[in-house]
Structure 1
Amino acid sequence: MRVLIAGAGRLGTQIARVLSAAHHEVTLVEHDAGRLAEIADVLPVGLVSGDACEAGVLERAGVRNRDLVVAVTGRDEDNLVISLLAKRRFGVARVAARVNDAENAWLFDGRWGVDVAVPAATPLISLIEEATGATDTVALLRLSKAGVEVVETAITERSRAAGHSLGEIALPPGTIVATVVRDGRPTVPGPDVRLLPGDELLLVSHEATEREIRAAFQ
């Protein structure tokens, strides 16, 4: 599947990471060049600098050949404009948009080109399921064809992994930690990274089950 994601914030980068791990073709559009520079070496997706509210930027990002557009900027007005352009001008088959302010939810429908409206509080797993139309998602996304699973887990004060470094945690065979999201910023973790309450982890495994992976941290 060919996906264009507008917005390289925490949610946009997480979606891009998961879908690219599933071997989907992903392009991420972001107006903040500094933000793109931060993730250029850690996110294996196409990156386009520019305002996704501009038709020319979307076209430069290849929107005409995309199966799915996901608008997840922090501004509802921007997400609506992006959705409308994607659907009405470029004929994208499926458009998903994030609703940041619940009071604006009534706007996110077919009139603005939105097929799937996703409230800000919706878990990442649900957003990806709804946006992609997947029906076999386990944890975040089961990569059945590749034999790989991507699992999200959050560190709380009660987690056994809280306060421990990644190198101290016995991961199930065939499992790696793809990223640690702290204070909204994803990083590629090393063994010395100490896990703190509030951290969110994305793990990739081709052998372990979701239960086994969660047991290592919770």
Structure 2
Amino acid sequence: MKALITGGGRLGTQIAQVLAAARNDVTLVDIDDDRIAELEGHLPVRLVAGDACEPSLLEHAGARTADLLIATTGNDEDNLVISLLAKRQFVVPRVAARVNDAENTWLFDQRWGVDTAVPAATPLISLIEEATGATDTVALLRLSKAGVDVIETAITPQSRAAGHRLAEITLPEGSVIATVIREGRPTVPTPEMRLRPGDELLVVSHAATEQEIRVAFQ
């Protein structure tokens, strides 16, 4: 799947990491050149600097061939404009958009090109099959044909994994840590990395259940 994400904030970068971990072709756009520079080397995706409200920029980023566009900027007006352009001008098959202000939720529908409205409070969502609730450990992305789950778990002060190196964590068979989100930034995990309260981990697994992943860290 070819995915185009607009907005390089926390939600956008997390979704990019999830989709890239599931071997999708991902492009992330952000209007801030410094933010794009900051993400260089931290995300296995194509990074594009520019204003996604501009049709020429969206086309440069690959909107004409995208299967999915996710508008995750912090501005509802921008997300609506991006969604409308994606659907009407570039005929993107599926468009999801973040709703920052709940009072604007009624606008986020197919009139503006939005197939799926994403409430700002949603920590991470499956943009392919389902949106999940905010729990300590949630399945984010289910690729039933490939048999792959991407699962998020958060480290709290009470987590037994807090303070331990990743090398000391025993994961269920067929599971790997795709990334560690620390202070809003995706970090490439290394065996020597020590987990801290507040860290969020994305675990890709072919067989483990959410509960098994939770037990490994909590």
Q: Same fold (TM over 0.5)?
A: yes
2 CA distance for matches of 1:103 and 1:136? 20
Counterpart residue identity of residue 148, structure 1: V
* CA distance in 1: counterparts of 2:148 and 2:116, whole angstroms: 26
State the number of aligned residues. 213
Mapped partners of 2:80, 2:73: distance in 1: 10
Letter in 1 for 2:106: W
Supply the AA of the counterpart residue of 2:18: V
1:38: which partner in 2?
38
8 Å Cα contact 2:2-2:67 kept in structure 1: yes
Q: Distance in 2 between matches of 1:186 and 1:46?
A: 15
Give secondary structure in 2 for the equivalent of 1:139: strand
Find the aligned partners of 2:41 and 2:190 in 1 and give their Cα distance: 15
How far apart are residue 166 of structure 1 and its match?
A: 1.9
Report the counterpart of residue 68 of structure 2 in structure 1. 68
- Residue pair 2:6, 2:71 contacting (<8 A) in 1 also: yes
Separation of aligned partners in 1, 2:144 and 2:40: 27
> 1:205 maps to what in 2?
205
**1:183 corresponding residue in structure 2:** 183
Find out whether 1:83 has 2:83 as its counterpart.
Answer: yes
CA RMSD between the two structures: 2.1
State the alpha-carbon separation in 2 of the partners of residues 76 and 149 from structure 1. Answer: 30
**Equivalent residue letter for 2:192:** D
Q: Give the share of equivalent positions with the same residue, in percent.
A: 69
Q: Which residue is 2:135 aligned to?
A: none
Unaligned regions of 5+ residues in structure 2, if any?
Answer: 133-137
Aligned position for 2:54: 54
Note closer, same or farther for the CA distance 1:6–1:83 as it changes in structure 2 (3 Å cut): same
Q: 1:136, CA displacement in angstroms?
A: 11
TM-score by length of 2: 0.88
- Equivalent residues of 1:30, 1:49 under 8 A apart: yes
C-alpha contact 1:136 1:142 (8 A) present in aligned 2: no
Q: Runs in 1 of length 4+ with deviation above 6 angstroms?
A: none
Runs of 5+ in structure 1 lacking a partner?
A: none
How far 1:207 moved relative to its partner?
Answer: 4.3
- Where does 1:19-168 land on structure 2 (aligned, <5 Å)? 19-124=19-124, 127-128=125-126, 131-132=127-128, 134=129, 139-168=139-168
